[in-house]
A and B are shown apart, each in its own frame.
Chain A
């Protein structure tokens, strides 16, 4: 039997492609949309107007060979030619005072100056960098997995260029043209120094490395970029507050960016496959706009997160929850002065977290052996009847016993801790026993020391 017949007979068994298994989500895509480029959006979604023939005269001879070049032109895309091949590069420019969500792009300059002045070591810091160094970068791919066969068909970024924000998108018009894609992209980003991404450390950049490896003999090496991944910070700031830290949710809840007519990122692979069949950019235009908004939102998000982290006091844009998380972030980074500054803001408030902030302050003072201040903070927490934190009592007791040699007070706090602990009850019997022993031992020791 001929192979062809066999193939057709067994079609069902052969083409069975199970839905992608739920593995670790490497990408966080799928968003709703803003009306940044609503005009374009409408044009594209409602079919592009038919072009008259004479339009061809404006195009070079080889561009006329590119399918639907006129539509690409309308999408503000033009060709980048290597010797035998081409890719499409779309370029859109915005003035610096353009408002994207809650900020104008030019506020990036302000926060970058603030980073410069702050002299802090922080993962978000852009200190020492020029605005033009930053590449706000995002990709669109043919799948969500991190394997070799997941092709990147769009390398998009926004950056500050002269006195404008430029969005540039390098688009793979045919899988054959990957060499041209990386030539075009690498040629273009030579002057950039740092990537700013959303989950780019785990997904986008490793995937760029993967696909680059396949064509590495024919294209320049990848530059060694610095990399600020905003997802990490977004999780720190909003993990408890937002249902998810997907960029779309953050845009909506934190950046005031509302997308309209958005093409969900999850549809990107399908739309690209459709495009490949027809080579009509209309199919893929929605994805281009989606990516454009992504890379613009990265500027707004970077601006906003920087402002939150840099603001040391009560202000109109950060909530007390955010200030508390910023404090914890500083503490984790070992920037204790900054951490204290932020904790104090929360501690002074009536916000639910004020006791936690005071306790955290207490620990920070304790680190500095500033026993009086540490005890002051712990005692403030203890005085609040609504708090039942026995660990804080123990902390206070330790300072009284070992540092201030106030055994009476130490005993009082230890007993208080014990009572609070007993009231709380524990589900874990084994742990309970260990903890009870620890309390009893401490009380015993204090009583001995006091000669009772």
Chain B
């Protein structure tokens, strides 16, 4: 048997291995960083200082000290430092400092998930116990027993919860929390970067409501936020809290040398530009690392992939590993099980873990030596988060990013500089999205009547209040707006689901044993849950038996078939109002309000391996209408003549395929939140047009962002097509093999950037 290699040895071997060398596109070595520390602030409470000293800590990292100082000075802060840099001390220390002086003071800790809240509770309990301070820190969430809740409300110094709980259980019952709100000194928002898009827009409004309640009880808490690396932490923090913030980014935590390897699986079919599966390659790399006893985390894109990789790895290296194990980690595991895995990783009993992005968030699993990422996670920020899982303070570590054959992956893997030099994405929110804003105004009015002249963050609310009066939801009397409805508004508003009316998916495989397995927004359900559609859920195939569109229920039954279904959605866009426009030579770039009318028409059954069409059928569903915001590129009408109608159509389709990948990347959103639709003749102008529209009613600012960055979007799309090694189109660029497809798409993209047509 071969001797086990240490990581540096293994890396050396990789550098010499021919096969590896061929597939490694880029090998970047990030040099180690020395710790930067400062002595404890003089004003720090003796008990806290002694606790840290007993833990062997004799100084603070620079960012921790800066955070402490700013908060002591009464400032709001947002700290941005990488994983494992002692980030939570940035809020624990100033909060405990205040509590050590004022035992009546309260703090609210918000975490995006219950698991993180639990983690922090344990950490906090240990810390508090060691200081000997009498501070009660408790979680308050759906799992908190009723008898404890009362205690938390009246006596909890630190209440640890999530935004959903704040929205639906705390704020609408604020009168039970009088003492808490009267003495609320701090609001801690951890993992701030997760609050973006629809979720972030909701949370910003929940914070508006929180601040209103605090003002009512006479408190004015400071905000302490922490974020993973994103481009605009300060802006995001200021938008969510609507308070002036100080940025703390002078990270003083040390790191060892880190190797970042971009790995592209070998091409197996040059003609079609098909590469070996990223999953298989990642599996092989991970098993080599694990086989040498190197603690490794393997990130996979989906829950199913996690299970597949796990089974394989467990099988492959069972003999080599002895008692140490390899575990999976994903949503759907019980909290208890997750805690055990986290502990096993920290203590080293677990050698390997295969995870979805569930481990991207700050769950404490210690630091591993190696990280293998299967497929580009979709954003620079997310990639750094996953990569941050590997990297010890002294030792070397390695991150291997294995590209899949999607256009985005191929672009990133072939342009490592794009990733390495680039700032991470910005996180966008739009708290003033009309639907989100109106929902939270209802909740806010429920919590406290509005007076004329009252503020709700920076939103314009008076017209909305009058509208709600007209709709008989509020009652206006002598300058005040009162909630006058018998419902409990927070119940109808979920912070995390995009649409208000979701279709529930019911598994009716076993009669009498029907169970809900998921839900989907109405708009998507038209193409994914129509009758006879094959719906994939956690790797299991279901066929939709019946879609009750009125009752919003889809009944599915488990099946095993060798095809999937693909539905055509006929989309019509009407521009209602143009808010912004700029011209690039003959091309107009614009942003405004649109109506999207979508109707599912037919679906096709497509065979897995061969992609042949093996049947089709009509879809009978009513048209859906969506009012939202959109940006668009209007190309000159003349190109219809110069290039030809049919060619323009093909070019637009190809360009749209690439743009659908590029645009979400730049505005940092999920692909399904932003749709790209090409139209040969747009209804409003008759010009060949590509639309980008927000999928969420009313828009959450994604398409506006696209408008702002349109040049960048177009340039990147152009580069992506130009650099694709295929001959005339492939799934990694314009979607299909088409004669002249790449040229057509490229020339349209050039025109869009203000260029002229030059078809060879």
Q: Which residues of A contact B (CB under 8 A)?
A: 1, 3-4, 6-11, 13-21, 23, 142-151, 174-176, 209-210, 213-214, 269-270, 273, 276-277
A-binding segment of B167-175, B327-335, B421-429: B167-175
Bound CA–CA A148/B212 (angstroms): 14
Cross-chain contact A14 with B434 (CB below 8 angstroms): yes
- Which residue on A lies nearest to B474, using beta carbons? A175
| Contact residues in B for A3 (Cβ distance below 8 Å) | 434, 460, 463-464
Given contacts A9-B627, A146-B173, contact A214 B487 (CB under 8 A): no
Bound CA–CA A406/B449 (angstroms): 77
Bound CA–CA A21/B492 (angstroms): 8
A213 touches which of B175, B472, B477 (Cβ 8 Å): B175
B174 touches which of A146, A148, A151 (Cβ 8 Å): A148
- Which residue on A lies nearest to B169, using beta carbons? A147
**Interface residue? B485 (CB, 8 A):** yes
| Contact residues in A for B463 (Cβ distance below 8 Å) | 3-4, 7
**Interface residue? B471 (CB, 8 A):** yes
| Contact residues in A for B448 (Cβ distance below 8 Å) | 148, 214
Cross-chain contact A16 with B482 (CB below 8 angstroms): no
A149 touches which of B447, B460, B593 (Cβ 8 Å): B447
List residues of B (450-483) whose CB comes within 8 Å of A's CBs: 460, 463-464, 467, 471-473, 475, 477-478, 480, 482-483
Given contacts A1-B576, A213-B178, contact A276 B434 (CB under 8 A): no
B178 CB to closest chain A CB (Å) equals: 6
A88 CB to closest chain B CB (Å) equals: 15
A–B complex contacts, Cβ < 8 Å, 26 sampled: A1-B576, A6-B593, A6-B627, A7-B464, A10-B434, A10-B627, A11-B471, A13-B500, A14-B471, A15-B471, A15-B473, A16-B501, A17-B473, A20-B487, A20-B491, A144-B486, A147-B173, A148-B447, A149-B447, A149-B483, A175-B480, A176-B482, A210-B176, A214-B175, A273-B485, A276-B475
B494 CB to closest chain A CB (Å) equals: 11
**Interface residue? B446 (CB, 8 A):** yes
Cross-chain contact B435 with A14 (CB below 8 angstroms): yes
- Which residue on B lies nearest to A142, using beta carbons? B486
- Which residue on B lies nearest to A276, using beta carbons? B475
| Contact residues in B for A11 (Cβ distance below 8 Å) | 471
**Interface residue? B228 (CB, 8 A):** no
| Contact residues in B for A15 (Cβ distance below 8 Å) | 471, 473
Bound CA–CA A3/B438 (angstroms): 12
Cross-chain contact A19 with B460 (CB below 8 angstroms): no
A221 CB to closest chain B CB (Å) equals: 13
Cross-chain contact A176 with B480 (CB below 8 angstroms): yes
Bound CA–CA A1/B477 (angstroms): 29
Cross-chain contact A7 with B175 (CB below 8 angstroms): no
- Which residue on A lies nearest to B628, using beta carbons? A10
Cross-chain contact B435 with A13 (CB below 8 angstroms): yes
Cross-chain contact B472 with A149 (CB below 8 angstroms): no
Cross-chain contact B484 with A273 (CB below 8 angstroms): yes
**Interface residue? B608 (CB, 8 A):** no
| Contact residues in B for A149 (Cβ distance below 8 Å) | 172, 445-447, 483, 488-489
Bound CA–CA A276/B486 (angstroms): 14
**Interface residue? B698 (CB, 8 A):** yes
A198 CB to closest chain B CB (Å) equals: 20
17 more A-B residue pairs beyond the given contacts A13-B698, A148-B173, A150-B488, with a C-beta to C-beta distance below 8 A: A6-B627, A7-B438, A7-B464, A8-B467, A13-B435, A13-B627, A14-B438, A17-B492, A18-B492, A21-B488, A143-B486, A147-B488, A175-B475, A175-B477, A213-B175, A273-B484, A277-B472
| Contact residues in A for B243 (Cβ distance below 8 Å) | none
**Interface residue? B697 (CB, 8 A):** yes
- Which residue on B lies nearest to A19, using beta carbons? B487
**Interface residue? B577 (CB, 8 A):** yes
Given contacts A10-B697, A10-B698, A175-B475, contact A16 B500 (CB under 8 A): yes
Given contacts A9-B627, A13-B697, contact A20 B488 (CB under 8 A): yes
Bound CA–CA A90/B489 (angstroms): 32
Bound CA–CA A276/B438 (angstroms): 23
Q: Which residues of B contact A (CB under 8 A)?
A: 172-176, 178, 434-435, 438, 445-449, 460, 463-464, 467, 471-473, 475, 477-478, 480, 482-492, 500-501, 576-577, 579, 593, 627, 697-698
- Which residue on A lies nearest to B488, using beta carbons? A145
Total CB contacts across the A-B interface at under 8 A: 124
Given contacts A7-B434, A7-B464, A149-B447, contact A20 B486 (CB under 8 A): yes
- Highest count of chain A CB atoms <10 Å: which of B175, B445, B501: B175
B198 CB to closest chain A CB (Å) equals: 14
| Contact residues in B for A147 (Cβ distance below 8 Å) | 172-173, 446, 488, 490
Cross-chain contact B593 with A148 (CB below 8 angstroms): no
| Contact residues in B for A21 (Cβ distance below 8 Å) | 488, 491-492
A408 CB to closest chain B CB (Å) equals: 50
B486 touches which of A6, A16, A269 (Cβ 8 Å): A269
| Contact residues in B for A148 (Cβ distance below 8 Å) | 172-175, 446-448
Cross-chain contact B485 with A17 (CB below 8 angstroms): yes
Bound CA–CA A176/B484 (angstroms): 12
| Contact residues in A for B460 (Cβ distance below 8 Å) | 3
Bound CA–CA A147/B697 (angstroms): 29
| Contact residues in A for B464 (Cβ distance below 8 Å) | 3, 7
A19 CB to closest chain B CB (Å) equals: 7
Cross-chain contact A143 with B438 (CB below 8 angstroms): no
B431 CB to closest chain A CB (Å) equals: 15
Cross-chain contact B485 with A142 (CB below 8 angstroms): yes
- Highest count of chain A CB atoms <10 Å: which of B482, B488, B491: B488
- Which residue on A lies nearest to B484, using beta carbons? A273
Cross-chain contact A1 with B485 (CB below 8 angstroms): no
CB-CB nearest 3 A-B residue pairs: A149-B446, A175-B482, A269-B486
Bound CA–CA A32/B489 (angstroms): 30
- Which residue on A lies nearest to B178, using beta carbons? A213
Bound CA–CA A375/B445 (angstroms): 66
Bound CA–CA A320/B445 (angstroms): 53
Cross-chain contact A17 with B489 (CB below 8 angstroms): yes
Bound CA–CA A14/B491 (angstroms): 15
| Contact residues in A for B489 (Cβ distance below 8 Å) | 17, 149
| Contact residues in B for A7 (Cβ distance below 8 Å) | 434, 438, 463-464, 467
Bound CA–CA A409/B475 (angstroms): 78
| Contact residues in A for B576 (Cβ distance below 8 Å) | 1
| Contact residues in B for A213 (Cβ distance below 8 Å) | 175, 178
- Which residue on B lies nearest to A274, using beta carbons? B472
| Contact residues in A for B593 (Cβ distance below 8 Å) | 1, 6
Cross-chain contact B175 with A210 (CB below 8 angstroms): yes
A233 CB to closest chain B CB (Å) equals: 23
Cross-chain contact B434 with A176 (CB below 8 angstroms): no
Bound CA–CA A210/B487 (angstroms): 17
| Contact residues in A for B477 (Cβ distance below 8 Å) | 174-176
| Contact residues in B for A270 (Cβ distance below 8 Å) | 486
Cross-chain contact A17 with B175 (CB below 8 angstroms): no
Bound CA–CA A269/B480 (angstroms): 20
Bound CA–CA A229/B576 (angstroms): 60
Cross-chain contact B434 with A6 (CB below 8 angstroms): yes
- Which residue on B lies nearest to A174, using beta carbons? B477
- Highest count of chain A CB atoms <10 Å: which of B483, B486, B491, B577: B486
Cross-chain contact B434 with A18 (CB below 8 angstroms): no
B743 CB to closest chain A CB (Å) equals: 39
| Contact residues in A for B482 (Cβ distance below 8 Å) | 151, 175-176
- Which residue on B lies nearest to A175, using beta carbons? B482
| Contact residues in A for B487 (Cβ distance below 8 Å) | 17-20, 143, 145
Bound CA–CA A434/B580 (angstroms): 79
B179 CB to closest chain A CB (Å) equals: 11
Cross-chain contact A18 with B491 (CB below 8 angstroms): yes
A10 CB to closest chain B CB (Å) equals: 6
B322 CB to closest chain A CB (Å) equals: 38
- Which residue on A lies nearest to B593, using beta carbons? A1
B653 CB to closest chain A CB (Å) equals: 30
B726 CB to closest chain A CB (Å) equals: 43
Bound CA–CA A18/B475 (angstroms): 19
- Which residue on A lies nearest to B578, using beta carbons? A1
A154 CB to closest chain B CB (Å) equals: 15
